[in-house]
Amino acid sequence: MIVQPLGIVFSESALRSDQFAVLAAFVAINTLIYVVLAVSKMLPKIYVSDYVTSRNRRGESRSIHPDGPA
């Protein structure tokens, strides 16, 4: 009884063709994009306003419950 290896599906000429190289490159880029998206989902959200101060803040409170005399 001869046992054939189960991992070989394509011939060597098919694996060395340009179409297979393009497909392999597409799969590699797609995998990297999904890895970056998955890692970015795990990281905490970054708010730009925490690091950049703006000048359009109010000088005094406009609440109906003021903090006290200015």
In tens digits, what is the pLDDT along the chain, a chain of 70 residues?
Answer: 676 666 667 888 888 999 999 999 999 999 999 999 999 999 998 888 777 776 666 667 777 776 655 5
The pLDDT of residue 56 is 66
The whole-angstrom distance between residue 50's C-alpha and the CA centroid of its chain comes to: 22
The pLDDT of residue 16 is 92
Report DSSP state, residue 17: S
The pLDDT of residue 67 is 67
The pLDDT of residue 66 is 67
The single residue listed with the structure tokens 């306003």 is 49
- The C-alpha atoms of residue 4 and residue 7 are separated, in whole angstroms, by 9
The single residue listed with the structure tokens 């011939």 is 11
H-assigned helices in 43-68 = none
The pLDDT of residue 26 is 98
- Residue 43 carries which side chain, given as an amino acid letter? L
